[in-house]
Amino acid sequence: MVDLIPSSDTVMQILKRTGAFREGHFVYPNGKHSPYYFQMPLAFRYYDTARVLAVALSRKFRVDRDISSQLPKVSIISPSSGGIPVAFGVRDALSAEQIYWAEQEGDKRRFRQYINKGEVNPSIMVDDIIRSGHAIEETDSLVKELGSPVIGCGAIVRFTAAPDKLGAVPIRSLVEFDAQMYDEGEDCRDCKKDVPVEHVRF
């Protein structure tokens, strides 16, 4: 089964082909500069591509005995809208019972109203991309408030600057990517060359 997980190169080819992986001179919403940007929904707009990526990620969880032994009484949780197609795909592949997702309401990340403590199965958190890790860390706290242990965590792409663990839980990904982020424009390679910047919204 492990052999059926596509290589990082294969996944990057899919992301390039669909326009999800982009090269240029980008300024992220937090002000950081990078020569790379991932607009992951562009890969998830094609059903077949979405399926390949989600099934591949699901296999990283399936091989974990602690996780596979708890199926199907597991909840797949997304920290934001970008992770929702990933969550549905992974749920499908693992036949997990539940799906939840958090949303940003103003400056606060929350689940929808009326989800009660004790209703959420042991959880696997999935996202399309983990850039800083803040979204999954915030969602981890929300899930714990609902009384659910987090038993797995993963994304299609994880930036190498982000944490590779959530507490004791390893963060699994199909691609580990060094985004070469610059905190300030003055350190940025492309700013020094006067390359025009593109501001990205997410």
Sites of contact with Zn ion (CB under 5 A): 33, 185, 188, 190-191
Instruction: Give the residue closest to Zn ion by C-beta.
Output: 188
Which residue lies nearer to Zn ion by CB, 57 or 188? 188
Which residue lies nearer to Zn ion by CB, 36 or 46? 36
Q: How far is the CB of 190 from Zn ion (least distance, A)?
A: 5
Which residue lies nearer to Zn ion by CB, 161 or 191? 191
Which residue lies nearer to Zn ion by CB, 166 or 188? 188
Q: How far is the CB of 185 from Zn ion (least distance, A)?
A: 5
> Do 39 and 131 touch, CB atoms closer than 8 A?
no
Q: How far is the CB of 30 from Zn ion (least distance, A)?
A: 13
Q: How far is the CB of 27 from Zn ion (least distance, A)?
A: 7
DSSP characters over the chain: -GGGSPPHHHHHHHHHHTT-EEEEEEE-TTS-EEEEEE-THHHHTSHHHHHHHHHHHHHHHHT-HHHHTTTTS-EEEESSGGGHHHHHHHHHHHT-SEEEE-EEETTEEEPPTTPPTT-SPSEEEEEEEESSSHHHHHHHHHHHHTT--EEEEEEEEEETTS-SEETTEEEEEEEEE----BSSGGG-HHHHTTPPPEE---
Which residue lies nearer to Zn ion by CB, 16 or 192? 192
Q: What is the C-alpha to C-alpha distance for residues 137 and 80, in angstroms, rounded to an integer? A: 12
Q: How far is the CB of 26 from Zn ion (least distance, A)?
A: 8
Which residue lies nearer to Zn ion by CB, 117 or 201? 201
Q: How far is the CB of 20 from Zn ion (least distance, A)?
A: 21
